[in-house]
Amino acid sequence: MNKMADTGDLILFKGKTFGSKFQRAFTRGDYDHVSIVLRCTEDEIVLFESTSNNGVGLISWDKFV
């Protein structure tokens, strides 16, 4: 991932919670959550996302995986 990812790439998620499943059923979508990849430096990647628990924020790729 570190060599392939670039700013603007999207990561699509399919959550396992009731809320995630409900959202997919309601919208008839395959995914319920998305984050945007931001490459800060050659070796540093962060994800920009919004969650119901934490609001909008950044998380490093290393911490995410």
Q: What is the pTM of this model?
A: 0.77
Tens of pLDDT along 12-40?
999 899 999 999 999 999 999 999 999 99
Nearest-CA neighbor of 9 among 30, 41, 39, 42? 39
The Cα angle at residue 46 between residues 42 and 48, in degrees rounded to 5:
140
